[in-house]
Amino acid sequence: MNRKAIARIVISVLLIGGVASLGIHYDVQEDSYDPYPDTENLKIAPEEYIDRQVFVFGTVEELSEEQNTATIRIETDNGPFTADIERFSTQRGVQSGGVVQVYGTFQGEYLIQADNVRVVNPAGSSNIYKYVVSIVAVILIMILFFRYWSLNLQTLGFEVK
Protein backbone atom coordinates (compact mmCIF):
# COMPACT_ATOMS: atom_id res chain seq x y z
CA MET A 1 0.00 0.00 0.00
CA ASN A 2 1.55 3.30 -1.07
CA ARG A 3 1.05 6.91 0.03
CA LYS A 4 -1.75 7.40 -2.46
CA ALA A 5 -3.69 4.56 -0.89
CA ILE A 6 -3.15 5.93 2.61
CA ALA A 7 -4.29 9.39 1.47
CA ARG A 8 -7.45 7.84 0.03
CA ILE A 9 -8.23 6.06 3.27
CA VAL A 10 -7.61 9.21 5.33
CA ILE A 11 -9.82 11.40 3.10
CA SER A 12 -12.64 8.86 3.03
CA VAL A 13 -12.47 8.39 6.82
CA LEU A 14 -12.73 12.18 7.21
CA LEU A 15 -15.76 12.28 4.92
CA ILE A 16 -17.43 9.38 6.73
CA GLY A 17 -16.66 11.27 9.93
CA GLY A 18 -18.61 14.11 8.37
CA VAL A 19 -21.57 11.76 7.92
CA ALA A 20 -21.29 10.74 11.58
CA SER A 21 -21.27 14.43 12.53
CA LEU A 22 -24.46 14.90 10.55
CA GLY A 23 -25.92 11.94 12.45
CA ILE A 24 -25.18 13.69 15.74
CA HIS A 25 -26.44 17.08 14.54
CA TYR A 26 -29.60 15.49 13.13
CA ASP A 27 -30.50 13.78 16.37
CA VAL A 28 -29.87 16.94 18.40
CA GLN A 29 -31.86 19.19 16.06
CA GLU A 30 -34.66 16.89 14.89
CA ASP A 31 -37.04 17.66 17.75
CA SER A 32 -36.94 21.36 16.89
CA TYR A 33 -38.20 20.70 13.36
CA ASP A 34 -40.28 17.55 13.68
CA PRO A 35 -43.93 18.57 14.14
CA TYR A 36 -44.57 15.33 16.04
CA PRO A 37 -43.36 14.32 19.49
CA ASP A 38 -40.51 11.84 19.63
CA THR A 39 -41.68 8.30 20.41
CA GLU A 40 -39.22 8.13 23.26
CA ASN A 41 -40.90 11.15 24.85
CA LEU A 42 -44.31 9.58 24.25
CA LYS A 43 -43.15 6.57 26.18
CA ILE A 44 -41.60 8.51 29.05
CA ALA A 45 -44.21 11.23 29.56
CA PRO A 46 -47.43 10.35 27.71
CA GLU A 47 -49.52 12.79 29.78
CA GLU A 48 -47.66 15.74 28.21
CA TYR A 49 -48.83 14.87 24.71
CA ILE A 50 -52.58 14.42 25.13
CA ASP A 51 -54.50 15.79 22.12
CA ARG A 52 -51.28 16.24 20.14
CA GLN A 53 -50.98 14.96 16.58
CA VAL A 54 -48.58 12.04 16.44
CA PHE A 55 -46.98 10.07 13.65
CA VAL A 56 -45.57 6.69 14.63
CA PHE A 57 -44.34 3.47 13.08
CA GLY A 58 -45.25 0.25 14.84
CA THR A 59 -45.41 -3.51 14.55
CA VAL A 60 -48.92 -4.92 14.77
CA GLU A 61 -49.31 -7.21 17.78
CA GLU A 62 -53.11 -7.63 17.94
CA LEU A 63 -56.00 -6.81 15.67
CA SER A 64 -59.66 -6.52 16.49
CA GLU A 65 -61.78 -6.32 13.36
CA GLU A 66 -65.04 -5.98 15.31
CA GLN A 67 -63.87 -2.92 17.23
CA ASN A 68 -61.65 -1.60 14.44
CA THR A 69 -58.71 -1.38 16.81
CA ALA A 70 -55.17 -2.67 16.98
CA THR A 71 -52.29 -2.85 19.37
CA ILE A 72 -48.92 -1.93 17.96
CA ARG A 73 -45.40 -2.13 19.35
CA ILE A 74 -43.42 1.08 18.94
CA GLU A 75 -39.65 0.90 19.15
CA THR A 76 -37.69 3.65 20.87
CA ASP A 77 -34.06 4.08 21.90
CA ASN A 78 -35.24 3.30 25.44
CA GLY A 79 -36.96 0.07 24.52
CA PRO A 80 -40.38 -0.60 23.00
CA PHE A 81 -43.84 0.25 24.28
CA THR A 82 -47.28 -0.72 23.06
CA ALA A 83 -50.06 1.60 21.99
CA ASP A 84 -53.70 0.94 21.21
CA ILE A 85 -55.01 2.36 17.96
CA GLU A 86 -58.64 3.30 17.45
CA ARG A 87 -60.19 3.59 13.97
CA PHE A 88 -57.49 1.26 12.71
CA SER A 89 -59.33 0.23 9.54
CA THR A 90 -58.42 -3.44 9.43
CA GLN A 91 -59.45 -3.88 5.80
CA ARG A 92 -56.00 -2.70 4.87
CA GLY A 93 -54.83 -6.27 4.76
CA VAL A 94 -52.18 -6.01 7.42
CA GLN A 95 -51.54 -9.04 9.60
CA SER A 96 -50.10 -9.45 13.04
CA GLY A 97 -46.33 -8.93 12.66
CA GLY A 98 -46.80 -6.37 9.89
CA VAL A 99 -45.58 -2.80 10.20
CA VAL A 100 -47.84 0.26 9.93
CA GLN A 101 -47.60 4.03 10.03
CA VAL A 102 -50.19 5.71 12.20
CA TYR A 103 -51.05 9.39 11.95
CA GLY A 104 -53.57 10.55 14.54
CA THR A 105 -54.33 12.16 17.86
CA PHE A 106 -52.67 10.97 21.04
CA GLN A 107 -55.32 10.37 23.68
CA GLY A 108 -52.99 9.59 26.56
CA GLU A 109 -52.42 6.23 28.25
CA TYR A 110 -50.84 5.02 25.03
CA LEU A 111 -54.03 5.37 23.03
CA ILE A 112 -54.03 6.90 19.55
CA GLN A 113 -57.13 7.79 17.57
CA ALA A 114 -55.99 7.29 14.00
CA ASP A 115 -56.73 9.75 11.20
CA ASN A 116 -54.78 7.67 8.74
CA VAL A 117 -53.14 4.25 8.90
CA ARG A 118 -50.83 3.14 6.11
CA VAL A 119 -49.22 -0.26 5.78
CA VAL A 120 -45.43 -0.45 5.48
CA ASN A 121 -45.11 -4.23 5.60
CA PRO A 122 -48.35 -6.28 5.40
CA ALA A 123 -46.71 -9.12 7.34
CA GLY A 124 -43.49 -9.95 9.12
CA SER A 125 -42.44 -11.97 6.06
CA SER A 126 -42.37 -8.79 3.92
CA ASN A 127 -38.89 -8.10 5.24
CA ILE A 128 -37.66 -11.41 3.81
CA TYR A 129 -38.77 -10.28 0.35
CA LYS A 130 -36.94 -6.95 0.81
CA TYR A 131 -33.72 -8.60 2.01
CA VAL A 132 -33.68 -11.23 -0.76
CA VAL A 133 -34.28 -8.64 -3.49
CA SER A 134 -31.64 -6.37 -1.96
CA ILE A 135 -29.07 -9.18 -1.92
CA VAL A 136 -29.84 -9.86 -5.61
CA ALA A 137 -29.30 -6.14 -6.29
CA VAL A 138 -25.95 -6.11 -4.46
CA ILE A 139 -24.73 -9.13 -6.43
CA LEU A 140 -25.93 -7.57 -9.71
CA ILE A 141 -24.24 -4.23 -9.07
CA MET A 142 -20.98 -5.94 -8.01
CA ILE A 143 -20.91 -8.07 -11.17
CA LEU A 144 -21.66 -5.07 -13.40
CA PHE A 145 -19.20 -2.82 -11.59
CA PHE A 146 -16.26 -5.19 -11.85
CA ARG A 147 -17.08 -5.80 -15.50
CA TYR A 148 -16.06 -2.23 -16.28
CA TRP A 149 -13.75 -1.28 -13.43
CA SER A 150 -10.80 -2.94 -11.79
CA LEU A 151 -9.02 -2.23 -8.50
CA ASN A 152 -5.34 -1.42 -8.31
CA LEU A 153 -4.39 -2.92 -4.95
CA GLN A 154 -1.22 -0.82 -4.69
CA THR A 155 -2.99 2.52 -4.91
CA LEU A 156 -6.44 1.30 -3.81
CA GLY A 157 -7.78 3.09 -6.86
CA PHE A 158 -10.34 1.89 -9.38
CA GLU A 159 -9.41 2.14 -13.06
CA VAL A 160 -11.32 1.57 -16.27
CA LYS A 161 -10.76 -1.95 -17.54
Partner 1 sequence: MAVLLTHILVPYIILTVASWQFNWLTDRWIVIGMAGAAIPDLIKIEILVDAGVVETLLGVPFKYAPISSLGGVLLIAGAITVFFERQRRQIFSFLLFGAFSSLVVDGLRVFADGRSGFWLYPFSWWPPPTPSLYITSDVRVLVVSLLISVVVFSLDRWKY
Residues that bind partner 1 (CB under 8 A): 8, 11-12, 15-16, 18-20, 22-30, 33-34, 36, 55, 77, 101-103, 116-122, 126, 129-130, 133-134, 136-138, 140-141, 144-145, 147-149, 152, 155-160
Q: Nearest approach, Cβ of 161 to partner 1 (angstroms)?
A: 8
User: Nearest approach, Cβ of 17 to partner 1 (angstroms)?
Assistant: 9
CB of 99 to partner 1, least distance (A): 9
Closer residue to partner 1, CB minimum distance, 25 or 61: 25
List, as one string, the DSSP characters of the chain.
Answer: --HHHHHHHHHHHHHHHHHHHHHHHHHHHHHHH-SS--HHHHHH-GGGGTT-EEEEEEEEEEEETTTTEEEEEE--TT--EEEEEES--GGG---TT-EEEEEEEEEETTEEEEEEEEEEESSTTHHHHHHHHHHHHHHHHHHHHHHHEEEETTTTEEEE-
